[in-house]
């Protein structure tokens, strides 16, 4: 813990979990989508659904989807700004069972591709993604993280991890989930070092890989 976790962060109020964390959820969805969404559906759950309006949670998530940081003073105007950018958005509520009280499900689309991100904001502006495109997972993006969506077929895990290791990057955690046998698989690889662009290129070249996202803390990845 740093003293700047005590004096800080600099953020737009009123709540680190319901506002700052909500911005981070939007940002995370934007990264997993690979850019600005054309449309977004935001579903709030638990305390987010109950007190989100008063905390500006919907505005905050939308601001994050537009790439704003938690200290961006335009957050309160995000509805209007999204309108100007031509982003279609809607809000609703959902009952996410077994999820943290401060949770949301965000569906966003761009270039004919969509993502569905389930994330929670336990406090202090930190977030955790607990589902991606319907598959359970768990990552925060606070350490370098590689997210690979691919066809579920033998050998994929070793080829993907091989591409990471080939760059001298140490993996600290590997999660693999799939929907059905031979269906879509999700690999989440947390690493000790920053993940260079080369790794993304190498993995993307493997057959049956649908999509690769790099999350390097403090960097916006495209």
Partner 1 sequence: MSAVTSIAGLLKVSAEKKLPLWKTVQLTDCAEQDMSEADSWEKMKNMLSVMREADQSYDSRRRSLSGLSGGDGGKMEDYVRSGRSISGPLVGEIIAAALRMGECNACMKRIVAAPTAGACGVLPAVIIPCGKAMGLPDERLIEALYAAAGVGQVIALRASISGAQSGCQAEIGAASAMAAAALTHMAGGTSQQIANASALALKSLLGLVCDPVGGLVEVPCVKRNAAGAVIALTAAEMSLAGIESRVPPDEVIDAMREVGEKMSPTLRETAEGGLADTETARKFRERDEAAIRHGPGLT
Residue in this structure with the two tokens 């981070």, named with its chain if needed: 24
- Contact characters 105-144, partner 1, x per CB under 8 A: ------------------xx--------------------
For the CA atoms of 131, 136, 142, 147, the dihedral, rounded to the nearest 10 degrees, stands at -90
Comparing CB distances to partner 1, the nearer of 2 and 180 is: 2
Task: Out of 53, 110, 140, 171, name the contact with partner 1 by CB under 8 A.
Answer: 53
- Contact characters 193-222, partner 1, x per CB under 8 A: ------------------------------
Long-range contacts, 153-158 (Cβ 8 Å, 24+): 153/182, 153/208, 156/185, 156/187, 156/206, 156/208, 156/209, 157/187
Residues of 16-55 as b/e, b for ≥16 C-beta within 10 angstroms? bbbbbbbbbbbbbbbbbbbebbbebbbbbbbbbbeebeeb
Q: Is 71 in the site for partner 1 (CB under 8 A)?
A: yes
Comparing CB distances to partner 1, the nearer of 7 and 205 is: 7
Q: What whole-number distance in Å separates Cα of residue 75 and Cα of residue 109? A: 21
Q: What whole-number distance in Å separates Cα of residue 178 and Cα of residue 213? A: 17
Residue 147 CB, shortest distance to partner 1, in Å, is 27
Q: Site residues for partner 1, window 1-30 (CB under 8 A)?
A: 1-16, 19-20
Comparing CB distances to partner 1, the nearer of 57 and 161 is: 57
How many chain residues are in contact with partner 1, going by CB under 8 A?
32
Residue 73 CB, shortest distance to partner 1, in Å, is 5
Comparing CB distances to partner 1, the nearer of 68 and 187 is: 68
Stated length of the chain: 222
DSSP 104: E
| Contacts with partner 1, residue ranges (CB under 8 A) | 1-16, 19-20, 47, 50-51, 53-56, 59, 71, 73, 75-76, 123-124
């Amino acid at each position: 813990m740093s003293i700047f976790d005590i004096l800080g962060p600099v953020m737009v109020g009123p709540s680190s979990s319901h506002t700052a964390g909500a911005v981070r959820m939007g940002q995370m969805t934007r990264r997993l989508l690979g850019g600005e969404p054309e449309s977004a559906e935001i579903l709030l759950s638990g305390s987010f659904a109950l007190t989100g309006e008063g905390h500006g949670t919907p505005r905050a998530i939308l601001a994050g989807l537009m790439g704003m940081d938690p200290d961006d003073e335009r957050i309160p105007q995000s509805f209007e700004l999204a309108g100007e950018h031509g982003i279609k958005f809607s809000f609703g509520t959902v009952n996410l069972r077994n999820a943290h009280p401060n949770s949301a499900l965000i569906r966003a689309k761009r270039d004919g591709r969509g993502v569905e991100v389930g994330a929670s904001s336990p406090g202090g502006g930190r977030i955790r993604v607990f589902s991606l495109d319907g598959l359970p997972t768990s990552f925060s993006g606070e350490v370098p993280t590689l997210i690979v969506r691919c066809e579920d077929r033998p050998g994929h895990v070793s080829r993907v991890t091989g591409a990471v290791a080939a760059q001298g990057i140490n993996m600290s955690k590997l999660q693999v989930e799939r929907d059905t046998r031979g269906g879509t698989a999700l690999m989440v690889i947390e690493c000790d070092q920053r993940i260079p662009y080369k790794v993304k290129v190498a993995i993307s070249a493997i057959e049956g890989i649908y999509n690769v996202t790099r999350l390097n803390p403090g960097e916006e990845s495209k």
